[in-house]
Every structure is written in C-alpha cells, then in structure tokens.
Chains A and B, each alone.
Chain A
Amino acid sequence: FTNEPTGGTVTLGFNVPQSGPYADEGADELRAYELAVEHLNGEGDGGMLNTFSSKALGGNGIMGKKVAYVTGDTQTKSDAARASAKSMIEKDGAIMITGGSSSGVAVAVQGLCQEAGVIFMAGLTHSNDTTGKDKKANGFRHFFNAYMSAAALAPVLEKLYGSDRAAYHLTADYTWGWTQQESIQAATEAIGWRTVNNVLTPLAATDFSSYIAPVLNSGADVLVLNHYGGNMVNSLTNAVQFGLREKQVNGKNFEIVVPLYSELMAKGAGQNIKGIVGSQNWDWKLGDEGTAAFVKSFGTKYGFPPSQAAQTCYAQTMLYADAVERAGSFNPCAVGEALAGFEFDGLGNGKTLYRADDHQCFKDVLVVKGAEDPQDEFHLVEIVEVTPVAQVTYDPEHPMFAGGALGECNPGA
C-alpha cells in the first residue's frame, strides 16, 4: 500500500492553513498535532492517552515506530491544500493526512487521499457534505456538522426565545453556508418558527450593512447569521452597530443567532458576541476527564487553553494511531475498518461513535453563548447546554446527506 513505513519512523502529514484568514486556527491545530505526536512518542504527560477508553497505545509511537511529521500550508484553497498534501504523500512519504479548517479544503483533500490511497482525518470541517454527498471511504470526520448544530440548537432556542418567532437568515453564498442554512431552517421550523427570508451574501463581502439594514423592517425578530470566520465577525459587528440587539420587534426582543461558533470568532467579535447563542463541537470548559487532561497538557505547554479546532485535530491523531495499533497494520483499509463503527470515550464529549455508514463521529454537541462578563479572555464563551448525542443523531440516508457513497477503501499502490 502507499507509503508503507519501512524504517523506524512513521510520517504523518499535518496540512493546516498557515496563511490567509484562518492562519491562527491553523497554528492552534498545529500545536495540538505537535502535542499529540509528543504524547504518542511517550514524551510529556501523555494527555488524553491516559483517559482514552482504548488502551492499545503505549506511548512508544505507533506499532513501535516513532512518529515523525511534516507540515504544510493549505492557504485555505482547495488547490494549494491538495498540492501540499500531494507533496507530503509523494515527497515525504506521509501515510496519513490530517488538518484543515474549511469544508471546501476538507472535501478536496479527502478526495485526493482517496485516490492516493492514504487515510484522511479531517480537521475542522462543518459542512454536511464532508460526510454526506462527498464522503469517502478513506476519509473520517471527528468534528460535528451543520445538521448536528441545528439539531442541538433548536430546543435551546425554543426554550430561550419561544416557539413563535420569525427568522431572517443571512447566508454565506457557498456550499457550507447553504448546508448550514438548510439545516437550521429545517430545525427551527420544526419548533414552529417562521422563516421570513434567506439572503445569500457574497463570500468576499466585508461590509454587510446593506444586508442588515432591511432586517428590522422585514417583520423578523431573529437574525440567523450562517457565516463563519471573518464573515461572521463582520456581519455580527455590523448587526450590533445597527442597534438590532436593542430593538423590539413584534413585542419581543430582537435576537441574533450564530449557529457555528469558535473561540477565535468570539475574540474577533469582542463585545458584540455577548449573549449570542450558537453551537460548538467542544469547549475546554467541559468538565470531563479527557478534556481536563488535554487542557492541562496543552495549557502547560503553550500557556493558554486549546480551541475546538485543536481538540478535534488532537483527537483525530489519537484515533488514527489507536486504529493502527488495533488493526495491527498501517494499511489504510485495515485502519479504516478499525475506525469504522469504533466506539470510544475519554477524548472529550463523552461516549462517541465513529459511524461506519458515513465515517462521521457522533457525540454530544455543545450549545454555547457569549459570556456577559468574562473573567478573562479565555472565558468569552460559556456553555449553555450539552446536547446529548441521541438528539443529534440522524439517519445515514437523511436527505441532507444523500447523494454520495463511501465507495471502496483504497490502499493505493
């Protein structure tokens, strides 16, 4: 199979954005990867190795081979990401590629890995498509997705804002935005909300004023921002500038919802994020054992708590290594088999299942909101509720995920 490790080391490829707007997220992912490599090689305090339910890993590398790694820059562009991944595979002999912070890149690199015959452990990617219509046998996603966000959010929104609400959606005009919007619209309509309008905004937009200005007069009393990263920071900032949050419509307080949250976005949005509800895959404030162990070793090494992107990347690396050990082989097909349907605990988010049908992880989802009075810059987000996994699980044949097929696993040449 492709890049079968023959010497005393095994090389993993960490493909993260190092330039472009998501460079900070990429940097955090890289930190997590380095930590994971340390732990796998038996250095440091072992982190989640100690809490992981599977005990196959022994801190002596993977199957006795020392873990080495190479890094590359995805630039958050499908093309560049694939070039970078290819060079890891062709030049450095990487046996597994992981990382990334956007769905476009994840899908593109996943496709590449499928063709090249290596395993792809997706980083931060939230679009339904990654494990929906674009799913691949060689690709695995630990991160949650748009459907899960919506499913977790809806009940909380109902509790907070009632079931008689009219929502106005602003949606980033590309695949992720669409799936996010579709999911949240379906979920909120299921609790009785009306959808007043859904307006697509250009990805390149920096100033959202012309999209926000008409919102108040539209009869809507909730604004849903299906934006991520810079788009979300800017649209939220603009919305707050327009004073939307101080307004009353239909006799109710006007509310803003941001379905997908991240710590970095919260930081970029500053004051404006206070009280805004959204969802996260994971948060360092989760009380479980695995989280605590990870936060401790990450925090000790770098001086601040890890982001959800870092956690998902760390967990993915562990899961891959563990699967290799359990399979007893680096062969992607064997690894894939070991991962598919694998149930585990102790990597945060409680009990988790890597579903065989679509290689999507199922675990608890967090509903969070911007803290009103954060004690420090690490507490910008507070957890509102941990939605149990059952509530966010869907059928593999769900229409939002239909259309693709995993195909056969490809071990490569």
Chain B
Amino acid sequence: MLGIKGKDLTLLCVVAVLALCAPFILNPFPQSSAMAQFNAGYPDLMQRFVIFGIFAVGFNILFGLTGYLSFGHAAFLGVGSYSAVWMFKLLSMNVIPAIILSVIVAGLFALVIGFVSLRRSGIYFSILTLAFAQMSFNLAYSVLTPITNGETGLQLSLDDPRIFGTSVSDTGGIPVTSLFGMEMRETSTLSLGDWSFQFSNGYYLCAVLLLVSFYISIRIFRSPFGLMLRAVKSNQTRLNYTGLNTRPYTLAAFVISGMYAGLAGGLLASMDPLAGAERMQWTASGEVVLMTILGGAGTLIGPVLGAGFIKYFENIFSKINDNVLHQWFGGLPEGLENAVVWFTEHFVGSGWNLTLGLLFMLVVTFLPGGLVEGGTRIGRLIRGKSKRAEKKAAQSKPAE
C-alpha cells in the first residue's frame, strides 16, 4: 500500500492512529483528579508535539542518514515562520499560501547555506551551519527589525494591508488564521463524564501534515537516494571512487530537511501568528539535535518521540508548582508532606530543566539507541525473548 510495506506500513498506521486519537490518548486523567496536571491533550501542546515532530523528522533526514550534524537548523524554522507571518500580513489569513511560501523560502535559504557549508564535513560543517544561524538570529534581533520586528517578534496588527482579506475582523480584532474559512483556533470539546477532550482544527491540520511528512520520510529512507545518503555517512571515499559526487546528494538532503523545518515554522505561525527571533537561536537548533538523538537518530519514529518528550517536559513539568504539590501530597502527615514537597519541588516548576538534564543523561547512558531502543527492549521483554536466548541460538550455528 502507498508504495511501502511490512514494518514501515505498520509504523505509518500506528503513527496515524496515534496522531488522530491524540486528543484522547494525551488526556488519560479525569479533569478533577490530581493527575490531570499530567494531561497534555490541549490544542497548543498537541500542535507543538506534531510540529516539532515534523521538524525533527526532517532534521533526521539529514543527520540520521548522512551523519552531517547541522547546528543551525533552527534558522530555517525561523525563516519559515517569518515568511508565513508576512504572508498573513500581506496576503490573506489562509494558511495554505503561508505554508507554501514558508517551505519555499526555507528551502531557498537552505540551498544557499547548504551550498556553502557542505564544502566542509564533520565538525567544521557543524560550526559553519551554527555560524550562519547565529548570524541570522543576531541580525533578526537587531538590524533586521523592520522585517522581523526584533525582540518582540513579528506579529499581526490592525493596520496590515492583507490584500485578499480584511485588515480588521467584524468584531474589530485581527482576523484569525484559517483554511478556506475553517478557523485554525476553533476547538470543539467533547465531555465524557469527568473527561473532556478537545479537538482543534489546527491540530488536525498539523497532524495530517505530520503524516504526510512522515510518509515522505519513509519513502526517502527506503529509496536509492536514502541508500546513497547512508553511503555518504559510511564512506565518502568509496563513493567518490564509484563515480559519484557526494555534494548534490548531501545538498539535496540538506534542502529537504530545511524545507521540513520551514514547514514546521510555517505551521507554528499558522497556529499562532507570531514569529520570534529566538526560534533561530543556537539553543533552538540544539533542541532539535537533542530531540533527534534522544529519540534515536537514524530511526524513523525516534525523532518524533524525542520531540514529544522534550516538549512535554517544557510545557507540563514547568507548570507544576508547590501549590499543586501540596494538593497531591495533602494526604500525607504534615511533616512528611513538607519533606516530600520540598524534595519534589526541585524537579518540577522552575526545576523542570534539572529533570530534563537528568533524563538526558539517563537515557543516553542506559539506552544507547535512544527512546526507540527503550521501546525495542520493552517489546522484547513482552515477547519474552531475552538476549541470552538469542545468544544460545547463535551458538549452535557456526560463526559464518
């Protein structure tokens, strides 16, 4: 089906089911329970999961396949966002032209930066991309303020021209982003007992695009192009002496992953029409690197998992304050309660970074293949096939 088969097809189906049912899956706890704090099924966060998933999937096409570690990918995301917001300002609030433009502009930007940076490999390449991104960030923050609105970020305003739309909505506000009239921010709520599930148009647009992106990424991984990219990672000398110039391949991968980043940026702006310069800072580029490695570089689903993991901590753990903790542990005796709260406080709220840092270390130390490796191990446990057993099986066969 769709030109993919076997495991890949299963994977795509699983991702599709997960993405479409996310509003249920991410909201497992009833509204009034203490655990509701851990629910992540509200539109903004679900959108972020998916958008950063797209970003990471694209990054993985470059890094996972070719091994070229770009440390400036956030620049493409930022450029995508700016293009989209400009599109909203000038043209119309329809997200389609905005998204298309952001993909194109990010692709062109990636073409230029990639063309230059790919003259070097290894760490030298990483630093070149980092330098380009940091330049973009610094300029966007200051000199380019007329285009980027600097520190505040590019926003819509009441006096935008918006050729194919209205500057001001009927209610006197700024019109909202939409897909041919279907408003992105519109959310319908389904209440089932103590649960309430939110279905947002914006999220479903993002989810569909994630599925498309993911599907394309599968196709790339399984295509001769993907094979060539893996060959680039493995041995460039051999590739050269096989008559292949590696540059067009790496550049194509770079541009494709830049376009993914642009798409992510465009979607971010479509969900929330603001583009800030911080989106291009090295920390943002670093974040996608971390997402990819954390999930499992070179695997198909890993980057999406990594993106979800980091965004979850950033948005859910950071919001747990001592007030919430006291509610949770209110059942404990006073002294114990305070002790538990005091201890837990370090890891949540303003301490969310600490938890994230610790988890980075734990995951990479104990799960060398990232979260995907963790999943594989769990799968193996469930199937009851231990490593030992496999070893025994191998023993009976001769070494070859």
Q: Are A204 and B153 in contact (CB under 8 A)?
A: no
CA distance in complex: A80, B276 (Å):
10
Q: Give min CB distance, A228 to chain B, whole Å.
A: 11
Q: Are B151 and A407 in contact (CB under 8 A)?
A: no
Q: Is B213 an interface residue (CB 8 A)?
A: no
Q: Is B224 an interface residue (CB 8 A)?
A: no
B152 / chain A contacts, CB cutoff of 8 Å: 78, 103-104, 107-108, 129, 134, 175
Residue of A nearest to B43 (CB): A90
A82 / chain B contacts, CB cutoff of 8 Å: 272, 274
B236 / chain A contacts, CB cutoff of 8 Å: none
User: A54-81: which have CB < 8 Å to B?
Assistant: 69-73, 77-80
B141 / chain A contacts, CB cutoff of 8 Å: 173-174, 203
Q: Are A114 and B173 in contact (CB under 8 A)?
A: yes
Residue of B nearest to A15 (CB): B319
CA distance in complex: A87, B36 (Å):
13
Q: Give min CB distance, B124 to chain A, whole Å.
A: 23
CA distance in complex: A77, B153 (Å):
10
Q: Is B349 an interface residue (CB 8 A)?
A: yes
Cross-interface CB contact of A91 among B39, B149, B318, cutoff 8 Å: B39
CA distance in complex: A331, B353 (Å):
36
Q: Give min CB distance, A4 to chain B, whole Å.
A: 14
Q: Give min CB distance, B396 to chain A, whole Å.
A: 56
B149 / chain A contacts, CB cutoff of 8 Å: 175
- With contact pairs A86-B44, A87-B44, A404-B157 given, residues A174 and B151 touching in the complex (Cβ less than 8 Å): yes
Q: Give min CB distance, A336 to chain B, whole Å.
A: 13
- With contact pairs A87-B315, A202-B142 given, residues A78 and B276 touching in the complex (Cβ less than 8 Å): yes
User: B339-379: which have CB < 8 Å to A?
Assistant: 349-350, 352-353
Q: Are B319 and A408 in contact (CB under 8 A)?
A: no
Q: Give min CB distance, A377 to chain B, whole Å.
A: 22
Q: Give min CB distance, A40 to chain B, whole Å.
A: 14
CA distance in complex: A134, B274 (Å):
13
Q: Is A371 an interface residue (CB 8 A)?
A: no
CA distance in complex: A307, B315 (Å):
27
CA distance in complex: A413, B380 (Å):
49
CA distance in complex: A107, B150 (Å):
12
CA distance in complex: A380, B272 (Å):
42
CA distance in complex: A114, B43 (Å):
18
Cross-interface CB contact of A69 among B168, B172, B176, B323, cutoff 8 Å: B323
Q: Are B153 and A108 in contact (CB under 8 A)?
A: yes
Cross-interface CB contact of B172 among A71, A92, A404, A407, cutoff 8 Å: A407
Q: Are B274 and A78 in contact (CB under 8 A)?
A: yes
Residue of B nearest to A201 (CB): B142
Q: Is A191 an interface residue (CB 8 A)?
A: no
Q: Are A79 and B158 in contact (CB under 8 A)?
A: no
CA distance in complex: A134, B154 (Å):
11
Q: Is B90 an interface residue (CB 8 A)?
A: no
User: B147-177: which have CB < 8 Å to A?
Assistant: 149-153, 155-159, 168, 171-174, 176
Q: Is A410 an interface residue (CB 8 A)?
A: yes
Q: Is B209 an interface residue (CB 8 A)?
A: no
- With contact pairs A73-B318, A91-B39, A407-B158 given, residues A175 and B150 touching in the complex (Cβ less than 8 Å): yes
Q: Give min CB distance, B348 to chain A, whole Å.
A: 10
Q: Is B314 an interface residue (CB 8 A)?
A: yes
A207 / chain B contacts, CB cutoff of 8 Å: none
Q: Are A23 and B153 in contact (CB under 8 A)?
A: no
User: A399-413: which have CB < 8 Å to B?
Assistant: 404-405, 407-408, 410
CA distance in complex: A72, B159 (Å):
32
Q: Is B126 an interface residue (CB 8 A)?
A: no
Q: Is A176 an interface residue (CB 8 A)?
A: yes
Q: Are B198 and A90 in contact (CB under 8 A)?
A: yes
Q: Are A90 and B151 in contact (CB under 8 A)?
A: no
A18 / chain B contacts, CB cutoff of 8 Å: 318, 349-350
Q: Is A115 an interface residue (CB 8 A)?
A: yes
Q: Is A112 an interface residue (CB 8 A)?
A: yes
Residue of B nearest to A88 (CB): B319
Q: Is B290 an interface residue (CB 8 A)?
A: no
Residue of A nearest to B354 (CB): A19
Q: Is B309 an interface residue (CB 8 A)?
A: no
A92 / chain B contacts, CB cutoff of 8 Å: 319
Q: Is B115 an interface residue (CB 8 A)?
A: no
Besides A79-B279, A83-B314, A114-B173, 10 new A-B residue pairs in contact (Cβ under 8 A), listed by A number: A71-B323, A79-B274, A84-B315, A86-B272, A90-B43, A112-B272, A174-B141, A174-B150, A175-B151, A407-B174
Nearest first, the 3 A-B pairs at minimum CB distance are A408-B172, A18-B350, A78-B276
A-B CB contact pairs (8 Å), 24 listed? A30-B321, A34-B323, A70-B319, A71-B321, A71-B323, A73-B350, A73-B352, A78-B153, A79-B274, A80-B314, A82-B272, A82-B274, A87-B45, A90-B198, A91-B45, A107-B153, A108-B152, A108-B274, A129-B152, A174-B145, A175-B152, A203-B151, A404-B158, A410-B171
